[in-house]
Structure 1
Amino acid sequence: MAEAAAATAVEEPKQSRYERYVEEITEDITNTLQEYGCQPILFVGSGLTKRYMGAPSWEELLGYLAVKCSSIDKKLVFYKQLLKDPIRIGEEFARLYQEWAWGAGHNEFPKEMFEEDIGAQSYIKYMIAAHLRALNPGNAKGLSADHQQEIEALAKIRPHAIITTNYDEMLEMIFPDHQRIIGQQILKGQHFSIGELYKIHGCVSDHDSIVFTEKDYEDFLKRKKFLSAKLLTFFSEHPLVFVGYNAGDPNIRAILSDIDEALPEKGGIIPNVYILQWDPSLKDDSWPARDKVIPTDGDRSVRVKLISASDFNWVFDAFAANPILNNVNTRVLRSLIARSYELVRHDIPKMKVEADFKMLTSAVQDSESFAKLFGIANINDYSKAGAQHPYSLTEVSKALGRNTWHFAGNLIDAVTETTGVNIRKSDNRYHRGERVNKTTFHKYSDEAIELLRKVRDGEDYKLDLGVAEK
């Protein structure tokens, strides 16, 4: 069926099972980024702030609050036995904190908190904010020295937007150019869905915004429709990455339940949703699961992609490998989109256009950069070699009549098994690898499509790697 020519076999170092897993997951991420042609959306949970800032988990926070307040005269386990649900425990603790504030704990709070218009649950939220602010290292360089490379790799992702249920300000330190939008501010004003940090459960900068008690969650669910609509827009247009959450976290289940409602087909894996899970037990011979079934509402469930890692560097590098935004400031991009929006909304009907060309000139140097600033440049154009190898693996699959990159990937694997030559391991007439940060983008030529067409159709083919043009 196949004949290999001009393909000198080079003995490659043997990979461990986990190294092979890392390689395949990285390829999946880069192909998904190429398919969507845009930056991912990050969903960040408390596990990441615990990793980088030593912030408490929900149960650890309840434990701290129980010790701090003398009106809570029993250990946390008593309230867990009695109330079961952490949110209901939060409700009871809020009542006891108000009682404490008006008695033995009076000096723990500023005098303005004893006015009539102060909410009964403000006292526990004030204490939560004070506790988390005390952990704040001041800037991203002050975060965990053990994970500084991970933090720098995370910052390079330049996410389209970030959504978090965390109260602390760690993400503001890592992504200083993102615009913070807290709690009910999501329902107000104009949001441009680029370079924004949505703190949907509140922030320590405004302790009353914190969603902590049973009443808070009831209020949050009542105004969740706008957020759900935004999430569905994000889902349809971007890769989504959950990090710092346990797969069974109720926040993940609620978000995926909204996504599940919009899925055209039930039961299949959602191709653009990833959950990054920390697993310190991974070894060279580990081969983690590639997907996860997560229950949503009722008896429904969804399947999403699962990434297991004890070191997040390689995962963040893969999601950061979009060359279009390497030199684009998120704040400038958001500002320019805002100005464009105002022109369309106000100026054009009045036949009046005002443009700050000095700002535009300083922001971009030529037409290509201008296109990149608007996010309309194609990811295929990041290298001049794109003229010879213009296709992503997804585009190769589509040229062969399928919609996902896996089809073409399986055909390449079939070539490797038949000839002993992996065309993805070198630059050649079929394939070129472009290095961005620490991640390789794989691009393919028309000759690759023709080769894989023959493999698909069971025709004879001659493999000739030739020499990739520089």
Structure 2
Amino acid sequence: MARNYEKYVEDVTEDIKTCIGDMACQPILFVGSGFTKRYLDGPNWEELLKDLAARCPEIRQFAYYKQRYPDFVDIGTQFSEKYNDWAWGAGQDQFPKELYDEASSPQIYIKHTVSQIFTLLLANGDHKLAEEIELLKKIRPHSVITTNYDQLLERFFPEYEPIIGQRILYANHSSIGEIFKIHGCASQPESIVLTRADYEEFVKRKKYLSAKLLAFFAEHPLVFIGYRAEDPNIKAILADIDEILSEEGKLIPNIYILEWDDRDMSEEYPRRERLIPVSDHRSVIIKSIVAKDFSWVYSAFSANEALQNVNPRLLRALLARTYQLVRTDIPRNPIQVDYGVLANVTEADGELAKLYGIADGADGLAFNLNFPYTLTTAGQAMGYKYWHACDRLMTTIAETTGVDIKSFDNKYHCAIMNGAEVQSHRYSDALMELLEKVRSGEEYASEVIREAELKGHRR
């Protein structure tokens, strides 16, 4: 097949589904200002500063500040001082009286204005790309992390709980269904990270924040949306991840960056990886997804039907009491869960276990016992560091026998379906024995062919 964009979509989709299947959990979304620009025509950093400059008569033309201060944070700091001067002079009628309390921060006036900008944007703006937004919602991410001030994500994920500013340090990160607003929120103007002093305070806290979030990044697919690859927020997070999770020059297999490209790419096969410098001497490699229309990407990351039927707010309350059980079982749960099951959790013995896939509900227990492995855990059981080695062994089986084990359900493999699409793959002890034979050079072809013929899948 030609290596065109259609092939690219097919290959990336398979990679995403394999990653989710192997990690057996939903992704974490890391969302930047490009997200708000895409769906609400919101401002990026520079556009926000230009808007702030136009509103305050104490501020000169924006170009003056851009010449003197190449870092937008320093421009924001200068603007904050100008807003303070204006608020205590000719602009006193522009701000609420309560902001003039002596206990208020001198930065509150610019932050109040930023809050108004994003509050009005959300109230008056029309969402764009409605179909794409509906597919985004179906991802049902484990959590969302954002540097955005606006509340667009809360509108898209109304059952998720926003965790703002300092509260993140004390949040229970074993939970699910939360929006971590690490640079503050328009709903709480004082929480907004805008000036040099704000960023210095944020950097002091960041090591504690990173320690809390690294477990997330190790156990879940992570998707950057609305950022440029050169964005300092991405570099800061990847620098922390690099110290813990990656090896020099190795691809981090569970981290993706979704990059927008407006060109006609129908005859192209865009890049699949991105090399991102995180310091003067180190770089990391993550997976790149290049697209103009994000619909197919969101579809690839979408949750299975069981998770789509779960109310994150109710589930969060359950997880607070049962974290160890849920973390390993609910993401892999092949049982169809509906609100009836959730409503019975506190009323009927055994319903909680059924929800978590460890009781006899729709043969859930039998499934988990018979197909306990993802590709990643199978690789670990065989002594490999990553899932790719097991995948290569299965490719060898397909090439030598003509049987693609992953293409149908059999004693080695079973697919978990999301409607008509495969959501993830699970594997049995029989596969482990088969892969050991392949690795050691023992004869295995006859039993694979026999199983395929038994299932009517000999090609």
* TM-score interval (norm. to shorter): 0.7 to 0.9
**1:359, distance to aligned residue in structure 2 (A):** 11
What is the rounded CA distance, in whole Å, between the counterparts of 1:382 and 1:148 in structure 2?
36
- TM-score normalised over the length of structure 2: 0.82
**1:439, distance to aligned residue in structure 2 (A):** 4.0
* 1:371-397 CA-partner distances (Å, limit 9, x unpaired): 46558799x987987788765444554
Moved more, 80-89 or 252-261: 252-261
Moved more, 50-59 or 400-409: 400-409
Per the alignment, residue 314 of structure 1 pairs with 296
Per the alignment, residue 143 of structure 1 pairs with 127
Q: Is the 8 A contact 1:31 1:392 kept in 2?
A: no
The answer as to 2:33 corresponding to 1:46 is yes
Moved more, 38-47 or 280-289: 280-289
The answer as to 2:259 corresponding to 1:277 is yes
- CA-based RMSD of the aligned residues comes to 3.6
Return closer, same or farther for 1:299/1:282 CA change in 2, 3 Å cut-off. farther
Q: How many residue pairs end up in the alignment?
A: 435
Return closer, same or farther for 1:23/1:401 CA change in 2, 3 Å cut-off. farther
**1:70, distance to aligned residue in structure 2 (A):** 1.6
Per the alignment, residue 201 of structure 1 pairs with 183
SS of residue paired to 1:202: coil
Q: Mind listing any 5+ residue stretches in structure 1 that lack a counterpart? A: 1-13, 342-357
- Match runs of 1:277-316 below 5 Å: 277-281=259-263, 283-316=265-298
The answer as to 2:239 corresponding to 1:252 is no
Amino acid paired to 1:109? F
- Residue number among 333, 347, 368 corresponding to 2:315 in the alignment: 333
- Residue number among 55, 62, 65 corresponding to 1:79 in the alignment: 65
The answer as to 2:102 corresponding to 1:120 is no
Q: Is the 8 A contact 1:427 1:467 kept in 2?
A: no
* 1:340-385 CA-partner distances (Å, limit 9, x unpaired): 69xxxxxxxxxxxxxxxx997534798886246558799x987987
Return closer, same or farther for 1:387/1:116 CA change in 2, 3 Å cut-off. closer
Q: Is the 8 A contact 2:175 2:320 kept in 1?
A: no
Moved more, 263-272 or 413-422: 413-422
Per the alignment, residue 453 of structure 2 pairs with 466
**1:448, distance to aligned residue in structure 2 (A):** 5.8
What is the rounded CA distance, in whole Å, between the counterparts of 1:294 and 1:81 in structure 2?
27
The answer as to 2:250 corresponding to 1:268 is yes
Moved more, 85-94 or 304-313: 304-313
Per the alignment, residue 15 of structure 2 pairs with 28
- Residue number among 87, 90, 94 corresponding to 2:80 in the alignment: 94
What is the rounded CA distance, in whole Å, between the counterparts of 2:303 and 2:341 in structure 1?
28
What is the rounded CA distance, in whole Å, between the counterparts of 1:466 and 1:321 in structure 2?
33
What is the rounded CA distance, in whole Å, between the counterparts of 1:283 and 1:467 in structure 2?
43
What is the rounded CA distance, in whole Å, between the counterparts of 1:311 and 1:372 in structure 2?
39
Moved more, 457-466 or 179-188: 457-466
* 1:269-324 CA-partner distances (Å, limit 9, x unpaired): 22222222222225233222222222223422222222222222222222223455
The answer as to 2:42 corresponding to 1:55 is yes
* 1:104-133 CA-partner distances (Å, limit 9, x unpaired): 433322222233222221111111111111
SS of residue paired to 2:453: coil
- TM-score normalised over the length of structure 1: 0.80
Q: Is the 8 A contact 1:429 1:467 kept in 2?
A: no
What is the rounded CA distance, in whole Å, between the counterparts of 1:265 and 1:377 in structure 2?
40
The answer as to 2:166 corresponding to 1:184 is yes
Q: Is the 8 A contact 2:373 2:428 kept in 1?
A: yes
What is the rounded CA distance, in whole Å, between the counterparts of 1:362 and 1:151 in structure 2?
32
Per the alignment, residue 110 of structure 1 pairs with 96
* 1:178-237 CA-partner distances (Å, limit 9, x unpaired): 111111122346565322211111100011111011111011112223211111221232
* 1:238-292 CA-partner distances (Å, limit 9, x unpaired): 2222111111111111111111222373331222222222222252332222222
Per the alignment, residue 157 of structure 1 pairs with 139
